[in-house]
Structure 1
Amino acid sequence: MRKLAMILLLLPQVLLAQESGKIESLIDEILKKIENYYSAEETLSDYQIQKQKELQKQLERIRKQLEILKKQKDLIEPEKFQEELEKIQKTAIEIQRASQELIEQSQKKTTTLSFVPSFRFRGETEIGRNDYIDGNVLVQDGDLKIYGRINGDILVENGDVFVEDGAEVNGNIYTTNGKITIRSGAKFTGEKYENFSQIAKADSLISYDRRKHRLEIRYKGIYASFGGFKQFHEDVPGVDNFYFEFERVSGFKIGLIYPRKFINTVYKPISMYGYGAYATKSHRWIFLLGLNRLLFNSNDDLFLILGAEIYSTIGTKDNWLISPNANTISALIWNNDYRDYFKQEGFNIYLETAILSKVSNLMLRYSSDNYASEVSRYIKYFSWNEKRPFRANPPVYEGNLKSISINYRVGGFHLIEGFRKSGVGFEIYIEKELGNLKYTILTSELKARLSLSNYDNFGFRLRVGASNQILPKQKSFEIGGFGTLYAFPYKAFEGNKMLLANFEYILKNPIDVFDFVNFFIFFDAGYVNSEEGKLTSGFKIKNLSEIKSDFGFGFGTESMKTRIYFAWRTDRKTPPIVVLRLSNPF
């Protein structure tokens, strides 16, 4: 370890060197020595070795920064060049100090951390009231909330620890970049080591990207209730930066995505996002380009953002029914394309505010869109679907629609990732058309999931839609079939007033033989009407037969993202409708 300390002492000299050739040669020399700094006689814990390796990665980044600076030396002013050198030098000195303190810690016979985790978690983690963990717990890049019992030591990197009332911890608690809070009603028999020793200083240096990651996760949590941000719950199809989608109107759409990242908005003056793809069947390019500008940031919690988008794409109003990735698989394999499409060109400007601590988001948007109808260009894709052709794509109102809208989201609703998560999410959307149609639309959605135990879970969704006028096709409310009333024909009911309620009860692994299969029962009810006038008119139900409902049961994988439904109508005797779903229903 002393070798590393001597090596790192040379780094500030490198940073102060004025000749680019000397900088390059000295950096290369130091990095060679760093690669060989581990020696057999050194005795270090795995944790300390991990931290030293992370510091080494930081040095690699500094070398790259110096290389870039060297190339730009003749293109920038000397004062700017010196300023950038000083920034790099400051970072290098911090790394040097952190590494030296790690060395000194390993030489002292004070409290040291010998930690072998039995359980590893990443991100925000919660130990429920009925949970018992016997062993050491490691949580990285997120807070740990304990309501149950842990018999072992706890280490949280880049996060806080909360031992809540009624919880029990028999062991020590360490944080490397966070606080420890023990509630008065909790039982705690160990010792607290907040920002443990010098490891915390090293951890705070390497945690810059992690802190940004945590901020991004907190922001995305606002949207997890209403479409989410995981692979099968994204508004833009594809994986990572690869745009891929198949549907019956455009065929394959293949291109690239640069997703909207909240952290880019926070840490860059202006951030860009968007996608571009080629549609193979309609033979046209589609694209979206967006810009964000951060106007206000209060303690990384309250944000005000100005944004704008311009686009020429294939739009749909059915994102709430099924994610594009799940729909691609369904359309390709089973000829079930559950989304309807239209050509959409235009722009929008929006003002967004987000309060991360309250899990809330408010967006005010002005849009100007030109719409045109699209026709189904595929009858089938694979030969086994000859007897099940694609549905015809319906025509839409063609022309320009200008509107102003406001959208508010709040709540901590979680999709099922186990059975200990509960929460409520609420969203309300109001749109006013400013052109010839002059309609007003209001939609709201309430979702809740209640954890009854470690083995069962209850969830429901209530969705309401209303308009003062008969709506164009691309704005109307439709229910029936997939995602709404499973036992009825798809989109069998359409109007400008809508009520939809979905209930489900999930039982975890009821059969020991198939411990990865969950069982669930469900009930759906919906009502649609068409009546102009007030937003509140048209909801007077004169006969219970106007409410369409179904029920059934099904099986799902452990995460419940892949499900098979068996659904029956309640108004007549019919054989069950079997539906396979590749994403959570709500």
Structure 2
Amino acid sequence: MPKPLLPCSAMLFWSLLAAFTLCTMAAAAQDSTAQDSTAQAAADSLVWMDDDLWDAMKNDPLRRNANEGTGAKGRFSIQRIPQFFSPFPAPNFLAQQDAFQFISYDRADGVYLGLGGDLPAKQFRKERTQGYFGFGYGFGSHYWQVYGGVAKDWGLREAPTRLRLEGHVITDTRDAWKMPASENSLHSLLAGIDTRDYFNRNGFSASLQQFLSPRLGLQAEYRWDNYRSLQREAGWSLIGPEQPFAENPPVRNGVMATLAFRLLADYTTWRTWGDPQIGVESEFEIGVGESDFQLLVVDARVKGTLVENYLFAAGRVRIGSASGNAPPQRTFTIGGIGTVPGYPQNHYAGNRMILLQTDLLVGIAPWLRLIVENNVAAVSTAPAESGLLSDFPGEVAAFKFSPGIYLGSPTGSFRIGASWRTDVFEAPEFVVRLSQPM
């Protein structure tokens, strides 16, 4: 018999309310610190040339996390492939590779423990070179994982040319954009909700990146990977049925070589809600040799203040298209938390995807927001010979719509509330998010 989702008791209600209040007040303090650190970062041209600023960031957890909602945060070793000597702690809007965690829990690896980090930054500051290395073990998959890389910068510090080499033997996912690894682990552990599909990826990549300005860059990358399908290796959660996890879907096994071209325009990092925030990242990937396919993914985000101190808005559009003989690990899924809450998790798949997410945040108190959320998404399967920009879902019936109402922190990173699907009549789904969805 399934375990009840939430016991309806007064004690639980007041416990959740107290926890929510503490979390939102802490987030408000962090947001206030973010405002102060923005001016300091701007004064230093947002380039890690000031050792004193870097040390202050490293030693102060509030300032270190001031750019809430971004992807990598430089040398602080929270991402499997960190950003070295970037003019900014660059975000990862596409998030098509997993992030490094010292400990995680998911349906592919079960409990995973890892150890890793960057080489000392100051030691390599003059050479403008940096490296990282890590390893870990999945106790469910009984699989050792190893990864490492090196990056070298040339030219102007404000607009460097960067060469990066990396290798990996890892459990990976193409769904990291739906939810950060740490939050996904908590959802898996507590409620048996895993927003990601997994596979084994062994190989290497080499990339050349050119920054045109501190916030704008182009990158070309060669990838060589040997893929292997993974089974479900976890079967327990605190809340949920006896087996809370669905089977992990298979991928196309074997070697895949590709060339990828990426554009990143980041006008979000270190900017407050009082400034217009716009970020776009796109990638065009083509198969090399027997890997005969093309892939295009675009993720664009915008945030801003509508009425000072009272009304804020955020939006995100993500579009994906795969043509040719695209393998399952290069197609798209929607459904559930991360895309359209209330629908079955990752239940709908295809080689075309459209996702639109919007947030309207209403200031109730300096530390509290009422958040009205709307999520609209669709996937479809187009013929293999179709062009990348054709045959997207167009029928209204193809779109899944999921509105939601939450109470949350000032930036919406922490939120608690409910979302519901609109195609059938069902009870709303209780949702807690610990990271900014967009």
> TM (normalized to structure 2)?
0.77
* Structure 2 residue identity aligned to 1:576: P
SS of residue paired to 1:302: coil
- Deviation at residue 280 of structure 1 after TM alignment: 1.7
Q: 1:324 aligns with which of 153, 157, 181?
A: 181
* Structure 2 residue identity aligned to 1:297: G
Q: What residue is the counterpart of 1:231 in the other structure?
A: none
Q: What residue is the counterpart of 2:137 in the other structure?
A: 278
- Alpha-carbon distance in 1 for matches of 2:374, 2:223: 37
Q: 2:377 aligns with which of 516, 522, 526?
A: 526
- Alpha-carbon distance in 2 for matches of 1:121, 1:270: 29
- Alpha-carbon distance in 1 for matches of 2:325, 2:417: 33
Q: 2:152 aligns with which of 285, 293, 318?
A: 293
Return 5+ residue gaps in structure 2 as ranges.
1-31, 58-72, 76-84
1:405 maps to 2:260: yes
After TM superposition, list the pairs within 5 Å mapping 1:213-292 onto structure 2.
219=86, 221=88, 223-224=90-91, 226=93, 235-238=98-101, 243-259=102-118, 267-268=126-127, 270-292=129-151
1:362 maps to 2:218: yes
- Alpha-carbon distance in 2 for matches of 1:505, 1:260: 41
1:552 maps to 2:395: no
CA contact (8 A) 2:165 2:206 kept: yes
CA contact (8 A) 2:94 2:299 kept: no
SS of residue paired to 2:90: helix
- Deviation at residue 479 of structure 1 after TM alignment: 1.0
SS of residue paired to 2:185: helix
Q: 2:324 aligns with which of 454, 469, 472?
A: 469
CA contact (8 A) 1:330 1:337 kept: yes
CA contact (8 A) 1:422 1:449 kept: yes
Structure with greater proportional strand content: 2
- Deviation at residue 142 of structure 1 after TM alignment: 2.9
After TM superposition, list the pairs within 5 Å mapping 1:175-214 onto structure 2.
208-210=51-53
SS of residue paired to 2:188: helix
In structure 2, the CA distance between the partners of 1:220 and 1:451, relative to structure 1 (3 Å rule), is farther
Q: State which drifts further: 212-221 or 359-368.
A: 212-221
- Alpha-carbon distance in 1 for matches of 2:142, 2:33: 48
Q: What residue is the counterpart of 1:433 in the other structure?
A: 287
In structure 2, the CA distance between the partners of 1:225 and 1:468, relative to structure 1 (3 Å rule), is closer
- Deviation at residue 324 of structure 1 after TM alignment: 0.5
CA contact (8 A) 1:222 1:360 kept: no
Q: What residue is the counterpart of 1:442 in the other structure?
A: 296
Structure with greater proportional helix content: 1
* Structure 1 residue identity aligned to 2:219: M
In structure 2, the CA distance between the partners of 1:398 and 1:354, relative to structure 1 (3 Å rule), is same
CA contact (8 A) 2:378 2:393 kept: no
Q: 2:232 aligns with which of 376, 380, 395?
A: 376
CA shift digits 1:436-455 (9 cap, x unpaired): 23100001111101211222
Q: What residue is the counterpart of 2:392 in the other structure?
A: 539
- Alpha-carbon distance in 2 for matches of 1:120, 1:466: 40
SS of residue paired to 2:219: strand
Q: What residue is the counterpart of 1:481 in the other structure?
A: 336
Return 5+ residue gaps in structure 1 as ranges.
1-118, 127-140, 145-157, 161-205, 229-233
- Deviation at residue 334 of structure 1 after TM alignment: 1.6
- Alpha-carbon distance in 2 for matches of 1:360, 1:408: 8
- Alpha-carbon distance in 1 for matches of 2:178, 2:252: 21
Q: What residue is the counterpart of 1:5 in the other structure?
A: none
- Alpha-carbon distance in 2 for matches of 1:262, 1:530: 46
- Deviation at residue 364 of structure 1 after TM alignment: 0.9
* Structure 2 residue identity aligned to 1:501: L
CA shift digits 1:486-516 (9 cap, x unpaired): 12111122111111111110112x2x6xx63
In structure 2, the CA distance between the partners of 1:269 and 1:159, relative to structure 1 (3 Å rule), is closer
CA contact (8 A) 2:195 2:346 kept: no
For the aligned residue pairs, the C-alpha RMSD in angstroms reads 3.1
Question: Which structure's relative contact order is higher, taking Cα pairs within 8 Å and 6+ residues apart?
Answer: 2
After TM superposition, list the pairs within 5 Å mapping 1:39-58 onto structure 2.
none
- Deviation at residue 468 of structure 1 after TM alignment: 1.7
In structure 2, the CA distance between the partners of 1:293 and 1:388, relative to structure 1 (3 Å rule), is same
- Deviation at residue 235 of structure 1 after TM alignment: 4.9
Q: What residue is the counterpart of 1:125 in the other structure?
A: 38
- Deviation at residue 314 of structure 1 after TM alignment: 0.4
- Alpha-carbon distance in 1 for matches of 2:265, 2:123: 23
Structure whose alpha-carbon radius of gyration is higher: 1
